[in-house]
Structures are given as C-alpha cells and as structure tokens.
Structure 1
C-alpha cells in the first residue's frame, strides 16, 4: 500500500544537520552528459579496471583452470552483473526518494529527499549509459534483491522505506563504490564512481540522522518489526552478493559455482567486507539487538560493530 502524500503548513527548517546536507546537495550537483567524458574507451579485458582478487572465484580450482579468454569472460560477466544490480537499485532509490519527498513530515527531511530524487535520476542515467554503451551484457535484478526492494518500496511505514533503502541497500552500495574507487586502475571509472559515492554518502547520512531520532522514540513492539527487517534484509543482501546468476550464461553449472563461491575464503572475505559501513550504523541507530546480533554473527560481520562510524557526507 502506498504512503499518502502529506501537505504541511510548517515551513520552518528545524533540523540543522539535515539543512547542512541539503546545502551540500545543492552545491554538489553535476551533469552526466557534460561532466563525464563518455568517449573514453574501457579495457575490453577488464572494463572496470579492477584487480582479479576482487572476483568471487579468484583462487578457486575453476579460476586456476581458466585461460586468458576464460578469465576475460568471467571479469566481463561479473562486472556486468554488478553494474546491472546497481542500476536496478538506483531506480528503486529514485522511487523511494519520491515517496519520502511526498510524505516526510519535516521540511528539512523533505527537501533532502527532493534533492535525492535528482541525484538518483542522475545515477540511473549514468549507470544505464555505462551498461548500455560500455558492456555487451546486462542482467535482470536478482530474485533476492527484488524481494527486498519490493518490501522496501511498498512498506506502509515510511521509516522502513528509509531503513531498507537509505541504510541497508545504500550502506552496501557505498562499500562497493568505495572498493571500486580504491582499487580501479581506470581514471574514467574512478571519477564516475567517486561522484556517485559522494551523492550516496549524503543519502546515507540523511537516513542515519532521521532514523536515529525516530527509533529513539519508538516502542519496543514497533522496534521488534524493524529488527526483523534488518536481520532478514542483511541475510538477503549477503546471499545476493554471491552473484549466482552469472554462471549459466558462461556455460558453467549454477549449482556447482554457487557452492564454490560459498565455500571460498576469498569470496567470504569480499562479501563480509561490504558490511563494514552497515554494521556500525545499525549499532548507532539502536537496532543491534540480540536478534540482529545473531544474524551478524552468522554472517561473520559482527566484528565491524566496534568500528567508528564515518560521518563524511
């Protein structure tokens, strides 16, 4: 069920932290068509310029047996799958931002959501152009991600839309963007992902600030539903990161490769590292309850709870 749009007569900008983020958003707008050099040619062997140890099957028997052409194909499909999932996520974020802009009670939060709509539209444009023009392969949304995004978009609780998109999905996406910016050797990719990462950092900060206040005032019964949502969402995202859909298009057994990815220490290290921003955020919001803690322990990411939370946006 949709959340009803809210008309308010309160035009006071009451929340300083959100006002500051709104001002940053206005100053940081950029143009996909004018500020990015799309004539740049990417390396056909490694379009994102990422090192091979960032691949889920790196170091496995399958990887060791592949020749140069086989490894090139794995890179291409893995990167095409990643970009496709990011693109689907950005479209969902655009929908969620529109929902927040129409229903947030405070003007500061509403203005932040409005600028996020422009940001997300720009991200959809950028990733669509990257997938369509620079890659010969694209992938549909994974079943696990689709279920989480549907729950996030259709929730009648505005805070759960915020929690699912701004914290869970954006938290995971930010860590992926950070890795690409840190490890890619391609200047074009580093520039594009750096611009998007700065935008997403603001969105993540808005969600964190808003929800910390909301959850501090919420009853234990209401919080229990949010705990369950976080636990289920984190588990879904951890499975989603296995990228099970890329193997059959390359002629491999989906079942065998899926098990190989789950048994690989390299894969586990890669997937768990993506939670480094999410776990301390959940802690700060007061949602690191025994139920959520058990989930993070099962995913082997609980050690991130002691990390300081980055406040850069």
Structure 2
C-alpha cells in the first residue's frame, strides 16, 4: 500500500499546465469513415435512413455524452475517496485514499474545463449513474462503497479511457483521458488491495448482499450504455434507439470490452462467484476472453 502511495505522489500531473488547452476541438465537423465493422453497425441503425452525416452527428454526441458522464462519475468518486480516508481501517490506506481524493479533484477540473470550453451542450448525469452513486453514498458499510466505486465505476471508466483512441475524435480529450487512465489504474489497484480476502470471512448472507450490489450495479451500468439521452438529443425514437443499442454487435462488444476490467477486478477480490458470473452472462457483459476465467475452462 505504501508503494502504491509513493507511485501516486510521483505521478501527479497538473490539469492547467500539463494539458494543451489550445488544441482545437472541431465539434460537429465531418469525420472520416469508421472501421468496416462500425460502418456496418451504422447501416443497420435507425440513423441510416437520415444519411451518412447523421453517423458523424451521433459520434460527436456520443463523445459529448461520455465525457459528461466521466465528469459526473468523477464528482462521485471525489466524495467517495474523501469518505474512504475516514473509514478505511489502517493508516497506510488512509494515505493512499487521500492521494486519490486529490486525483479525483484534478479529474473533475480537467473534464469540467473541457466540457465548458469545447463542447456546445454537455449532458446531465444519466438516471442509472445517479441511482448507483446515491446508493453507494448512502450505504454505511465502507466495503460496499469501495466495491461500487473502486471496482465497478472506476474500472469501467479506466477501460473507457483506454478505448478513447478509437472512440473519441479530437487530440485534446485523448490526451486528458490518457492522463486520467494512468491514475485510474492505481485507484482500481487500491480497491483490489483493500477488498482482497474480506469476502472469505463473511457469512453467506453478507456475501449475498455484496453479490446483489454487484448485479444491481451491472444492470444500471448496462442500461446507461443504451444511450437513452443521446437518442433523445438527436431526435431518434428512444425505444428504437435503445433496441438497437441493446442488440447491435458493435454496442454489445463495446460493453463487453469496458466490463472486462470490472470482471477482472471482481475475480481478483474473490467476488466473481458463480452467481455473479451467471448474472453478468445473462446481461451479455462477459465476452470470450472473460469466459476464460471460469474454473475448468478449456479452449
């Protein structure tokens, strides 16, 4: 834990001076074609009937929506990190949690400035993310708060940041997410170190509570990625857009890619139980690579 704390101190960056805010963000401008896989997704989407420019509109709005949700998630993470300073049981963990609070403040600063200066109309927090953060912040059990934020929300964010090069459309946000992803990797590690071993000591009822929390959070986060707010913004029928997002191969693969970090972290802390794994599979959040974590798996 002290080694992680030392790494956190050495890796601090400044959102004002270490980011080139002069980089132009041509929001709404035409974009080059995506991969053939993505273009096939567009062709089968509700957007296709409105022509190729609508795909670019969707891609810019998706970026605006994602960065907006990053900001809201980091605001929640800032509150959670501050709470963890108080409730984690040992001094070394308090040192690290305090450094994480400083990280989260810097992330809020960077995403807030990007949205305020570069994006015409950021998005409010989505209802699923709001529900999850309210649940986590109202729970008095520190391990539930850490599980929800450090293992689920932070791991999802870290995966999304690392996919930024293929999902975002300007160098500025790619630079910001690269810096933030470096911090998030430590935050997930802190969560894994803090929670490792504690589930072996819990009663069956206590463990079931944690499994319930993971599965409820997964339902909310999957729903978030059905992009209800984006469809409404670009005037696509909400039900049709949600149906497309739920079943389109590209959308399914993206959700599996970002959830892979969550699944790995759950496995590392001993909470990828058969019940949790089966629940995630029913939600189509476990891809081929993650199925390899199943005991006795054979290729």
TM (normalized to structure 1)? 0.86
- The 1:228/1:47 distance shift into structure 2, 3 A limit, reads farther
**In the alignment, which residue of structure 2 is the partner of 1:104?**
88
Q: CA deviation at 1:132?
A: 1.0
Q: What is the 5 A alignment of 1:67-82?
A: 67-82=51-66
CA distance in 1, matches of 2:48, 2:79: 42
1:35 aligns with 2:18: yes
Task: Give yes or no for contact 2:27–2:119 (8 Å, CA) kept in 1.
Answer: no
How many residues are treated as equivalent by the alignment?
A: 291
**Within-5 A mapping of 1:1-313:** 18-45=1-28, 51=34, 58-181=42-165, 184=168, 186-302=170-286, 303=288, 304-306=290-292
Distance 2:137 2:38 in 1: 31
Structure 2: any 5+ residue segments left out of the alignment?
A: 295-299
CA deviations 1:25-79 (Å, max 9, x no partner) are: 0001111111111011023346999947669963424333333542332122211
Partners of 1:51 and 1:87 in 2: CA distance: 26
Cα offsets for 1:73-120 (capped at 9, x unmatched): 212221111111111000000000000011212011111110001000
Q: Which runs of 5+ in 1 are unaligned?
A: 1-17, 309-313
- How far, CA to CA, are the matches of 1:168 and 1:57 in structure 2? 27
Contact persistence 2:63–2:167 (CA under 8 A): no
- Normalising by the residue count of structure 2, what TM-score does the alignment of the two structures yield? 0.89
CA change 1:265–1:305 in 2 (3 A) is: closer
Give the RMSD, CA atoms, in angstroms. Answer: 2.4
Q: Is the 8 A contact 1:184 1:190 kept in 2?
A: yes
Distance 1:188 1:47 in 2: 17
Q: Which moved more, 1:260-269 or 1:129-138?
A: 260-269
Residues 274 and 23 of structure 1, relative CA distance in 2, 3 Å threshold: same
Instruction: Compute the displacement of 1:185 (Å).
Output: 6.5
Does 94-103 or 287-296 show the bigger shift? 287-296
Retained in 1: the 8 A contact 2:231–2:238?
yes
| Cα distance change of structure 1 residues 144 and 262 upon mapping to structure 2, 3 Å threshold | same
